[in-house]
Amino acid sequence: MLKGFKQFLLRGNVVDMAVGIVIGAAFGGVVTAFVKGLLTPLIAAIVKQPDFSALAFTINGSKFLYGEFINALLSFLIIAAAVYFFVVLPVNALITRSRKELPTDPTTRKCPECLSEIPISARRCAFCTSQVSGGEPA
């Protein structure tokens, strides 16, 4: 019974998931600090009110704290934008750059008479049967 549990834990996807969760939690702290320390004060400088939690209205003695919702919504949007612009876009650019294929050597060329694609080593065009210079004997 313990042997099966050990095999389950040591499978690659379980270990990868655990590492991803730990790194995600640490990254969440970095993003939260970035938003609270840099982006929220920037918004406060522009809007002149960094904290909307005091905004509320009352209906029949019930207090509706819509300012808390505004705070949570702004925080979510700022964090989502920060993750997109500072993580997703750079990683996608890195992946795209690393996947560029190297140009391959051409295997065909154009026949000077009929402009058909023929193998580089051909001495005669298969389409118009004209002799083509530069072909190597097979």
Do 46 and 110 lie in one domain? The reply is no
Query: How many domains is the chain built from?
Result: 2
Do 31 and 79 lie in one domain? The reply is yes
Query: Rounded to whole angstroms, how far apart are CA atoms 114 and 127?
Result: 8
Dihedral of CA atoms 123, 124, 125, 127 in degrees, nearest 10, equals -150
pLDDT in tens, 6-35: 777 666 677 778 778 888 888 878 877 877
For position 49, what pLDDT does the model report?
67
Do 131 and 89 lie in one domain? The reply is no
Structure tokens at 105: 């050597």
What's the pTM value of the predicted model, to 2 decimals? Answer: 0.46
What SS3 class is residue 40? helix
Give the domain extent around 36.
2-98
Do 76 and 21 lie in one domain? The reply is yes
Do 88 and 113 lie in one domain? The reply is no
Residue 43 has pLDDT above 80, yes or no: no
Do 71 and 89 lie in one domain? The reply is yes
According to the per-residue pLDDT averaged within each range, which of 45-49, 50-54, 82-86 is highest? 82-86
Do 30 and 11 lie in one domain? The reply is yes
pLDDT in tens, 100-114: 766 677 888 999 889
